Amino acid sequence: MEIIILSLSALLLTFVGLMRLFNPINTYAKNSGIQLANDTGLLNEMRGVSGVMLCGGLLTALGIFAPTFSFTSFVVAALVYVVFLIGRLMSITKDGGPNAQSKESFLN
């Protein structure tokens, strides 16, 4: 069961991290309807977060192949997912809910 959880977590973090790192404009537009302009500062921030997601995915994957690292991998994955959840909840309380298109893509 541990290997399955670590594998799914690592795959998701690594895939999303890579996609958003190499092509943030199309990835965000396709998945959430958010349009990113060619703003260098904004793209820099998006790629920075994507790099963190990619590293989290790779560290999580390490626990699959190195059993002594599996606890650390669970902690890394849990921290990444919990911090994203906290950030989203904070954004909802401070900025309001996501737009209708984001809700539709989430529900479908």
Please give the biggest Cα pair distance in the chain. 45
Q: For residue 50, which of 30, 23, 31 has the smallest C-alpha distance?
A: 23
CB–CB of 21/51 below 8 Å? yes
For the entire predicted model, the pTM comes to 0.76
pLDDT in tens, the chain (108 residues): 888 999 999 999 999 999 988 988 777 766 666 666 777 888 888 889 899 999 999 999 999 999 899 999 999 999 999 998 999 899 889 988 776 555 554 454
In order of 12, 59, 70, 89, 101, the CA distances from 80 in angstroms are 12, 11, 15, 14, 25
